[in-house]
Structure 1
Amino acid sequence: MSRYNTLLFDLDGVIFDFKKAEKHSFIETFRKIGIDVDESLFKRYHQINDQLWKEFELGHVTKDEVTVGRFKQLFEQLGFDYPYDRFASDYQEGLADGYFLISHAKETLETLSSTFRLFAVTNGVSKTAFKRLKGTDTLKYFQDVFVSEDLHAQKPSMEYFNQVFSRIKGFNPKTTLLIGDSLTSDIQGANNAGLDSCWINTARQPLTGSAVPTYQITHIEDIFEILVKRA
């Protein structure tokens, strides 16, 4: 029997293939306004977007300053004459429709849900998260879903995790494992909250920064080896 009975799953990059959904929505939203996307445009967007999400994790900017502000900055840099807020809304709609699952994610959740309590912990937009969960028929595997927008706090802050813990009946940090792909939000959050963590390092990136995962795996289905080892 595993020492863990409660598993906290990040969504983007763990359950959902966010990169695929992101690029698809980005290209399609620009196509609708008559602009063809090349790699340089996508790269410039990512530089802005990644920096804003880091600022969000630190609590320096709001969600809207990320989801709308990234396009404001991008359009200003490129001199695009189009309402950035309208574009942001259309992009978010497209992103919510990105029902792309990570390979073996659904099967893994289905198997785990018969033995463990599963909860989703994600930074992002509530409407987008729930639309994807329902669209991929994966919502049924989670006993609750904690979205930063709804909690008015975000990973890795203790404000976020304290709310999560208060809503999980019989919560015990010693029997809880957090599974995520982000060192700065998931693994650092687990460190802050005193939880064991599993870093899904698909790209096999070097471990950098202050966050220290308890385990590392490269594919979601490898989680079974961790759970068995901790029996």
Structure 2
Amino acid sequence: MIRFNRALEQAKVLSFDLDDTLYNNHPVIKAALQAQHDYLQTLPQWREQEADFWQYCREQALMQQPALAHDVTALRKQALTHAMNHLGVDNSHAEHAYRAFAEARSDIIVADSVLALLDTLRQRFRLIAITNGNVDVTRFNLHGQFDAVFMAGPDGRAKPYSDLYHKAAQAMAVTPQQIIHIGDSLDTDVQGANNAGCKSVWLNNQAINYHYKGLADMEISDIHELEILT
């Protein structure tokens, strides 16, 4: 299914969300959380805590540093540090637990058909990624696929704020109107792109109720339908 709500023209850059747009992120996150959990379970002090202890640590980290809401890596590290301090154990366990999470977090294989699609699109557009997540594209087969990757936290506030889009436009020496952003979330990807003055494509392939009522410029149900842009 392809639906155009507004014309897509004069674009020079295609921007991709990563998680759940170019690959299914649900099993990846599940495995990463399990890897962190498995490491923390080696600590007797951790095993003594209530089931909601991890959520408590995240909330405490955010309470102390609200800006961490825009940087999922820094938030997780700070929550782990808070946990180790609370448990009275060496802070090195926070780094080890995060490393276990991070290694599983980027254990991804993008389908060959998606890589072929990117190759086709690259013949007409420059390709970038804009993500709220913390996946490391250099550690799996998206490495080398993008001219640049912009991440919430290091590069600005998370989508739907305009920071990442505007930084991308500046870095790529184009106007926001010359960027088409493709993502699975109406609330972050489409709303963010629209707010920033970019074009937007909604990959509508998940049964999720979103709050944002605005329209994407284009709506697709399968990532391969982007071939229509070539």
> Match for residue 123 of structure 1?
132
* Equivalent residue runs for 1:174-189 within 5 Å: 174-189=177-192
Equivalent residue letter for 1:7: L
- Choose which of 15, 35, 45 in structure 1 pairs with 2:22: 15
Tell me the C-alpha RMSD between the 2 structures. Answer: 3.9
Work out the CA distance in 2 between the residues paired with 1:66 and 1:182. Answer: 22
Q: Deviations along 1:76-125, whole A, 9 cap, x unmatched?
A: xxxx9987834651343223431232573212111111221111111233
> Which has more helix, going by share of residues?
1
What is the TM-score normalised by the length of structure 2?
Answer: 0.69
> Match for residue 98 of structure 2?
89
* Matching of residue 165 in structure 1 with residue 174 in structure 2: no
Contact 1:14 1:105 in 2 (8 A): no
Structure 1 unaligned spans of 5+: 36-41
* Equivalent residue runs for 1:66-215 within 5 Å: 66-68=75-77, 85-86=94-95, 88-101=97-110, 104-125=113-134, 128-132=135-139, 135-136=140-141, 138-169=142-173, 171-206=174-209, 208-215=211-218
Contact 1:188 1:211 in 2 (8 A): yes
Aligned residues: 207
Equivalent residue letter for 2:17: D
Equivalent residue letter for 2:155: L
SS at match of 1:149: coil
Q: Percent identity?
A: 21
Work out the CA distance in 2 between the residues paired with 1:122 and 1:111. Answer: 22
Q: Deviations along 1:122-172, whole A, 9 cap, x unmatched?
A: 1233xx42333xx21x23231222122331433222233222111112x13
Equivalent residue letter for 2:69: V
